[in-house]
Structure 1
Amino acid sequence: MVYMMNKNKINKYLPLSLAIMFSGYTSVSIAGDQVEISAISAFNKGTAISKGFDQFVASINEDKNAPVRIRYVGGPEAMPPFQIGNAIKNGVVDMILSTGAFYSNVMPAADSLKLTRYSPQELRAAGKWSQLQQIWKEEMNVHLLAYTNYGNEFHLYTNKPLTSANLEGQRLRITPIYRAFFEELGASVMQTTPGEVYTALERGVVDGYGWTMQGVFDLGWQEQTKYRVDPGFYQADVTVMVNERTWSSKLTKEQRDYLTQKALWLESLNDNNAAISQNERKLQQDAGIQTLTLEGNEKERYLKVAYDAAWRELLDNDEETTKRIKEIID
């Protein structure tokens, strides 16, 4: 109870404190019809999950005729990932790159996008993306611009071998992405930022963690990892969002159209993820990470629990919004 009271106080004053800290980060006109907008990422620049966004920013800033420039403020070193949702909702920053898990404290149903059965292109072609944009506008005060990292599945990585879909005795580092899933299978869980995972593994505080196929090498986790469990589950739900006031009031139609075209280009990079993940498998094998493959009934149970537990938790947290999203993506 004491923790929750303190957390509520923090959330109450967080928008004001962020506004003071980052007051110079909102959009400004810099030359003629060109506008500069600020951007913060929940991921370190140059890491696997951030690479597409890094290219997106570079392609815009290197375009001399672009009506928009992006001022990249930084990653987690500039703002803790779990504060990024408040920052974009309150207009402290113009644009962010984040997974829904990092702003589920602001929009509990955001984490449901990981459960999508459709690629970004399929979502757009079926008119589903515009439906999601409306929900994110209502709940987060943002324009949902792009969906990147699709095709980069999550896996369980552990230092304790297993032969069934039973995680009893496993102490796992989690984010909200797979908390319900791992708990349902019996694991003990603890939440940390990515920057704390290596030390937690090294000191034996945790036995393993959930992460995407891509990115294990970014922070040296392969040095402390013995096994990867197959099959993978969920999709990386990493999106680019723009504060709604910035999008609708500070950008012209030409600037919005330009960013939308760049967003489509960014989403096209998702097509490379199958090959990238295949190469990542080889790199992990070469680094000594062994594959533990669940098959037959154990595989079916593992995946069923993954999706059932996730939807159940999301519905418990925000039934109305989760139902709206589930009708669109499931």
Structure 2
Amino acid sequence: MKKYSFILLLLAVILSGCGTEDTSSGSDTSNDTTKLKVVSFLPMDHQFTKDIVPMWLEKVAEETNGAIELEWIGGPESIPTEEQFDAVTNGLVDIGFNVSSYYGHIMPESHSLHLSPFQPWEERENGYYDYMNGLYDQYNMVYLGRWLGPNPFYFWTNKEIGSLSDLEGLKIRSNPTYHDILTAIKANPVEVVPGDVYTSLERNMVDGFGFPLLGPNDSGWTEVTKFIIDEPFLNQNGTILINKDVYSSLSTDLQETLVNLTAEFEKEMVDYFNKVNEEEWKAIEEAGLQKIELSEEDSEKFQNIVKEVKWEAMKETAPDHYEELRNLLDK
């Protein structure tokens, strides 16, 4: 009986020890990793997103040592572009790669991103970045930073332009970002969704379009376009936004890591896009497009029109923040 009791006791100790070891070593990685969903305003295979978004995702995985795991669920095919800003606000998705062109009607102050003459790191130093973060806070978001690098807009045409006045009366494919600019130079803005631009050009429904340097050649639009006016205007307005509740749930260290790695990413994007833009100019010329340059007088006139039109719009749509934003950017 004593021998039997001893064996039972020994088995109990062994089983107890196994249970203790299993509990301490079998930590659930789901409890140690924060999994977040990311959406982009453009499809996953678009020239602006296919390389850039993964670069940021990899940077996050590396610099947080896997503490944050990101899933890029897609672009408009997953959540319509015009609904993505609200989706981040409401927590339907955690992080959005978006542009203010698609949420400026909700947050008009975001259009000031276009008007900044500064590099992203300069905006972090002069107070603009912090001021914008205070505005995004009202929409339950944290503004991590920019993501499109140097990417201004251009006007592309099928009419040879000798001067700024030659744009008068032309039908130019537009979007809300530069409707007012086209109106100010007496051109006719025509809203056409990107998927219909090629056909609109081919059938002469429009005489040209507005768009950044990257995209038109990749989308085939240069096949039905003859000229690009080498007069870049407005700053890029790509933003990385994270739901505030999600951000607040992260440790202070992870919050700081996200902000700091995005600041580094902004500098990488400038170098990246400078190189890509240089290559794109060559591709555009090889596609047969001719570059048009405005005279010094017309160039100055056009840039002044862009600046005043946009600041006037800001004054009307965001009167409470107009003065401070202009003080921060119009130096």
TM-score bucket (shorter structure): 0.7 to 0.9
Q: Is the 8 A contact 1:37 1:95 kept in 2?
A: yes
Equivalent position amino acid for 2:261 in 1: K
Whole-Å separation in 2 of the counterparts to 1:161 and 1:315? 35
Report what 2:41 is aligned to.
42
% identity of equivalent residues: 25
- 1:120-159 alignment, distance < 5 Å: 120-138=120-138, 140-159=139-158
- 1:134-283 alignment, distance < 5 Å: 134-138=134-138, 140-166=139-165, 167-248=167-248, 250-269=249-268, 270-283=270-283
Whole-Å separation in 1 of the counterparts to 2:61 and 2:329? 33
Report what 1:326 is aligned to.
326
Report what 1:113 is aligned to.
113
Q: Is the 8 A contact 1:150 1:237 kept in 2?
A: no
Q: How far apart are 1:62 and its partner, in Å?
A: 6.4
Whole-Å separation in 2 of the counterparts to 1:305 and 1:101? 19
- Structure 1 segments (4+ residues) deviating >4 Å: 61-64
Q: How far apart are 1:170 and its partner, in Å?
A: 1.2
Q: Is the 8 A contact 2:63 2:261 kept in 1?
A: no
Report what 2:15 is aligned to.
none
Q: Is the 8 A contact 1:30 1:36 kept in 2?
A: no
Q: How far apart are 1:151 and its partner, in Å?
A: 1.7
Q: Specify whether residues 116 and 30 from structure 1 end up closer, same or farther in structure 2 by C-alpha distance, changes over 3 A only.
A: farther
Q: Is the 8 A contact 1:48 1:214 kept in 2?
A: yes
TM-score, structure 1 as length reference: 0.84
Say how many residue pairs are matched. 300
Describe the superposition over 1:145-200 as per-residue Cα deviations: whole angstroms up to 9, x where unpaired: 01122322211111122211132221112122211111101111122333332232
Describe the superposition over 1:38-65 as per-residue Cα deviations: whole angstroms up to 9, x where unpaired: 1110122243322322311233346792
Backbone CA RMSD of aligned residues: 2.0
Q: Specify whether residues 33 and 189 from structure 1 end up closer, same or farther in structure 2 by C-alpha distance, changes over 3 A only.
A: same
Q: How far apart are 1:228 and its partner, in Å?
A: 0.5
**Secondary structure of 2:47's aligned partner:** coil
Equivalent position amino acid for 1:223 in 2: E
Whole-Å separation in 2 of the counterparts to 1:104 and 1:117? 19
Report what 1:21 is aligned to.
none
Whole-Å separation in 2 of the counterparts to 1:162 and 1:291? 10
Q: Specify whether residues 127 and 311 from structure 1 end up closer, same or farther in structure 2 by C-alpha distance, changes over 3 A only.
A: closer
Question: Which 5+ residue runs of structure 1 have no aligned equivalent?
Answer: 1-28
